[in-house]
Amino acid sequence: MDDLTVSVAALAVSAGTPPLVSGEIWCTLGGVDFPEAHWTDSPVSVLGSMGEALRSAASGEAGEVYFFEGPYYVRLTPRVAGARGDVEVEVTAVCDRAHQLSGAGGGDVEARCVVPLHALQRHYADIVGELVGWARQHGHAEVAAVLARMAAPAPPPSRGG
C-alpha cells in the first residue's frame, strides 16, 4: 500500500508472566510518520487495537487504533466507493493532546489517507504473520500464540435473522 504502512522494529520481550513485548511501531500515512518514526510503544497491544478497528470497519462501523504511549490514535472510517461498491477506509491520524490535558475532547488531525479495506486487512495480516515468525524464531512461544490468534481471520459479521 502506497498511502499507508505500519512499521514494527526493535522488539524485546520481558521475562515476566505474561511476557510483554516492547519495541517500535508507527504508521506512515501519505508520507507522514505517526506518531513519529521509530515510536516506542507496545506493538502487540497496538496491533490488537488495529485488529479490532479492522473488524469494526469490515462491519461498516468506524474503529480506532490506539497507541498506548501518548494521546495518539488512528481512526478507520469505512465508506463505499465506486460502482462495484468496494469498501475503502479513510485513515485519520489524530493527536488528542487537548482531551488528555483538559478533558474537553477534540484533537488535531496530523495525517489522512484513503486505502482499500482489503489491502489494509492484508497488510495487517502480513505484519502479524511476520511477528509470529519472529516470536517463534526467538523462542517466545506464548507471544507467538497470542499473535497467531490475532492473525486468524475474523468470522464474517452475522446477519440479523
Give the Å distances, CA to CA, from 11 to 39, 125, 134. 12, 18, 9
Q: What pLDDT is recorded for position 48?
A: 95
Alpha-carbon Rg for the chain, nearest whole angstrom, is: 16
79, β-bridge pairs:
88
pLDDT tens, position by position, 18-36 = 889 999 999 999 899 999 9
What is the grid cell recorded at 69? 504511549
> pLDDT class for 15, splitting at 50, 70, 90?
confident
Q: What distance in Å separates the CA atoms of residue 60 and residue 8, rounded to the nearest whole number?
A: 27
Residue pair 78/88 in contact (Cβ under 8 Å)? The answer is yes
Residue 14 burial (C-beta neighbours within 10 Å; 0-12, 13-18, 19+): exposed
Report cis status (omega within 30 of 0) of the bond before 71.
no
Q: What distance in Å separates the CA atoms of residue 56 and residue 52, rounded to the nearest whole number?
A: 6
Q: What pLDDT is recorded for position 1?
A: 52
pLDDT tens, position by position, 85-100 = 789 999 999 998 765 5
Q: What is the pTM of this model?
A: 0.86
pLDDT tens, position by position, 122-131 = 999 999 999 9
Q: What distance in Å separates the CA atoms of residue 101 and residue 64, rounded to the nearest whole number?
A: 20
For the ranges 39-48, 87-96, 151-160, the lowest mean pLDDT is seen at 151-160
Average pLDDT on 134-155 reads 87
Give the Å distances, CA to CA, from 21 to 25, 92, 101, 122. 11, 26, 28, 23
What is the grid cell recorded at 60? 461498516
Q: What is the average pLDDT value for the chain, to the nearest integer?
A: 87
Place of cell 489494509: 120
Q: What pLDDT is recorded for position 157?
A: 47
